[in-house]
């Protein structure tokens, strides 16, 4: 699993994710065994255009057609930058592009490669597309999630005039910390005999009284970066001490997207040492 977190304020957007990738295998032998491995080097955040303030973040399914989601995101980047000769019409016009158009293209790409649904095996997969339209002074966040193994159309989750946070993957730690309730609250209320028709209203009222107030709108980008890192790190440490494999973990990747600075890596793991690849230290791929 993962934790993928986005925080949007007036001055920009911060994307933050862990690096854990959980792979399950069937091992044939005397008995059919199921085993789970967790690798802590997954790349879940991608700059979708080296010259434009737009990014993509993913959770759930880690590989499609033998390649990581990050690999596919970079294929998308080639198209958006006009570097794929077979998809030149996908190139983004830096003066006119809209985030909704970017998200629709992301949907089109992944819909064309998603595996066919398998009965009783729901496909868990989601994508977040965030950044600035060509003519915008504020960022926006659009999300796409598999529902009944079909990738939904992009949904505007945080608009230009809104601020706040949104997270996906394993939400229990952040839901408790920020919203003030457990993900199991609905079940708990039902088990206590609360009328089913009243549970949604009760839950809303409980969260209104127990949530952690945040000053989203005027928070500086550096403060957002600090908060995002803290929340993802908290989730990693929380999942470490609950039963089961550590499916949230590894290095924390952080990217900030602002109108004037564009897409900037704040914290990022490398599979190659920068001292041997100095050109990488001066590129947008840092």
pLDDT tens for residues 69-88?
999 999 999 999 999 999 99
Tokens standing for residue 86: 């077979």
Domain 3-170+215-282, what fold?
3.60.20
Chain mean pLDDT for the chain:
91
For residues 260-282, average pLDDT? 82
Tokens standing for residue 60: 């759930």
Measure CA of the first residue to CA of the last residue in the chain; give whole Å.
25
pLDDT at 34 over 80: no
pLDDT value for 26: 64
pLDDT at 286 over 50: no
pLDDT at 285 over 60: no
pTM for this predicted structure: 0.91
CA distance linking residue 24 with residue 30, whole number of Å: 19
Q: Check if the beta carbon of residue 34 is closer than 8 Å to that of residue 270.
A: no
Task: Tell me the per-residue pLDDT of 172-194, one tens digit each, with 9 for 90 and over.
Answer: 999 999 999 999 999 999 999 99
* 126-to-250, 257, 282 alpha-carbon distances in Å: 20, 20, 31
pLDDT value for 172: 95
Tokens standing for residue 70: 């990050």
pLDDT at 32 over 70: no
Q: Check if the beta carbon of residue 220 is closer than 8 Å to that of residue 7.
A: no
Q: Which residue has the tokens 């080097």?
A: 41
CA distance linking residue 101 with residue 76, whole number of Å: 13
pLDDT category, 28, cuts 50, 70, 90?
low
CA distance linking residue 105 with residue 90, whole number of Å: 8
* 279-to-241, 261, 273, 276, 282 alpha-carbon distances in Å: 40, 20, 11, 9, 6
pLDDT at 56 over 70: yes
Q: Check if the beta carbon of residue 42 is closer than 8 Å to that of residue 68.
A: yes
pLDDT at 35 over 70: no
Tokens standing for residue 43: 């790349």
> C-alpha angle 273/43/172, rounded to 5°?
130
Tokens standing for residue 219: 């928070």
pLDDT value for 117: 80
pLDDT category, 31, cuts 50, 70, 90?
low
Instruction: Identify the residue with better confidence: 102 or 271.
Output: 102
216, containing H or E segment: none
Tokens standing for residue 280: 């990488």
pLDDT value for 38: 85
Closest CA to 96 of 54, 132, 135, 131: 135
The number of residues making up the chain comes to 286
């Amino acid at each position: 699993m993962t934790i993928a977190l986005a925080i949007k304020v007036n001055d920009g957007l911060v994307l933050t994710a862990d690096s854990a990738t959980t792979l399950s295998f069937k091992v044939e032998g005397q008995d059919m065994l199921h085993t789970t491995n967790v690798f802590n080097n997954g790349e879940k955040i991608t700059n979708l255009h080296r010259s434009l303030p737009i990014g993509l973040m993913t959770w759930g399914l880690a590989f499609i057609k033998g390649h990581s989601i990050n690999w596919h995101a970079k294929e998308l980047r080639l198209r958006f930058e006009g570097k794929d000769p077979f998809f030149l019409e996908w190139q983004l016009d830096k003066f006119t592009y809209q985030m909704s158009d970017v998200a629709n293209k992301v949907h089109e790409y992944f819909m064309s490669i998603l595996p066919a649904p398998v009965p009783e095996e729901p496909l868990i997969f989601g994508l977040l597309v965030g950044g600035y339209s060509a003519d915008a002074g504020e960022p926006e966040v659009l999300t796409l999630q598999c529902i009944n193994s079909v990738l939904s159309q992009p949904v505007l989750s945080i608009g230009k005039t809104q601020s706040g946070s949104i997270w996906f993957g394993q939400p229990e730690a952040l839901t408790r910390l920020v919203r003030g309730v457990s993900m199991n609250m609905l079940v708990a209320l039902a088990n206590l005999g609360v009328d089913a028709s009243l549970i949604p209203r009760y839950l809303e009222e409980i969260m209104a009284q127990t949530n952690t107030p945040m000053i989203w709108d005027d928070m500086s980008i550096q403060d957002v970066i600090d908060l995002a890192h803290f929340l993802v790190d908290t989730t990693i440490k929380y999942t470490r001490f609950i039963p089961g494999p550590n499916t949230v973990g590894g290095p924390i990747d952080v990217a900030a997207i602002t109108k004037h600075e564009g897409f900037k890596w704040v914290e990022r793991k490398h599979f190659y040492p920068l001292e041997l690849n100095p050109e990488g230290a001066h590129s947008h791929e840092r």
